Structure 1
Amino acid sequence: MKRSMIGGLLGLAMLSSSAVQADEMGYEAYVDSPKRIKCLYGYVTAKTGNFDAARAIFEDCVARWNDVYSLISLAQMYESGNGVEKDLSRSAALLKQGAEQADNVSYVSLARYHWGVALAEGRGVEADPDAARSWLQRAAADGQPEADEYLLRLEQTRVPAPITQ
């Protein structure tokens, strides 16, 4: 009898602990969470198509921690119009905010790459090839291979200045 009671209690404990884990693994538990890990859950939330929850998570992460990953993700939502009204200037402003973070902040080199591309292409801001090159060079120096590739393409399409005599 003792053995069956212990087995039953163990089974109940396992059931209740797995339910807690399942809730903690779902993104719904992180929408209003004060835990910074929620910023990564925003990505999964967006990938599952729940853009309202993703936007709420990213906006909270930006407000609480100025989280660069969330700035980039939210900028991509505004650029594509997924879950928000398409707004290229809002997207560009978020990318700029991410790019201007300190060098040691996670994902800042990726934000610099995206901001450089926005400047190069005039996406949400007036095109500024010189500023674009500067941001892309910073991103490349921080290890973003996409920035190196984009800089090469910019150089290939660059029109030489006219020679004046």
Structure 2
Amino acid sequence: MRVPGLYWLAFGLAAASAGADDLSYHNYAAIPDQKFACLYAYAADKTGDHEMALKILDGCIAAGNVWAMIWKAMLYENGQGLPLSLEKSAELMQRGALTQDAAGYGALARYHWGMALYHGRGVARQPVEGLRWLRQARDEGVPEAAAFLAALD
């Protein structure tokens, strides 16, 4: 999954705002609604602290953060830090697909939800419905959706 470069800048700014005492991602588990706190789940996950990553992600998901929904869905899909579950992954992708967000991650969730439906990953296979979601994601500028649809033609 790609994290835009602008988010890395924000990630650094959020770390600086945490205070000089402790800049670790542990500070952000209790405040998932803070603007960039959800990105700390990425740091926790990539350093192997899956328990903390999931705690941060759960708070962010409860606050409606689509990026967090996608990230946790991918963890379910890979069985990383929690039991593998394509069903739970698809459920989170669907939730993200139905959510409009200013950051544009809703479009990426629509791509993943469309792929889940098209291929029947974690849900009953529904290729027609999957293509509908993939076209919407393509129209919203998701290059992976455009490439997939172009390959079908």
- TM tier, shorter chain? 0.7 to 0.9
User: Structure 1 residues 151, 103: CA separation in 2 closer, same or farther (over 3 Å shift)?
Assistant: farther
Alignment identity in percent? 39
Alignment correspondent of 1:91: 89
Asked if the contact 2:66/2:101 (under 8 Å) is kept, the reply is no
Question: 1:22 and 1:109 mapped to 2: Cα distance?
Answer: 38
Pairwise CA distance, 1:22: 6.1
- Measure, in 2, the Cα distance between the counterparts of 1:141 and 1:21: 44
Alignment match, 2:123 = 125
Greater radius of gyration (CA): 1
Q: Which has the higher helix share?
A: 1
Change (3 A) 1:99 1:91: same
Structure-to-structure mapping, 1:92-111, within 5 angstroms = 92-102=90-100, 104=102, 106-111=104-109
1:60 aligned partner: 59
Name 1:74's counterpart in structure 2: 72
Deviation of residue 102 (structure 1)? 2.5
Structure 2 unpaired stretches of 5+: 1-15
TM-score, scaled to structure 1? 0.76
Quote the offset at 1:42 in angstroms: 0.8
Deviation at 1:32, TM superposition (A): 1.3
In the TM superposition, 1:11-90 aligns within 5 A as: 20-21=19-20, 23-24=22-23, 26-34=24-32, 35-63=34-62, 65-90=63-88
Kindly report structure 1 stretches of 4+ aligned residues shifted beyond 6 Å: none
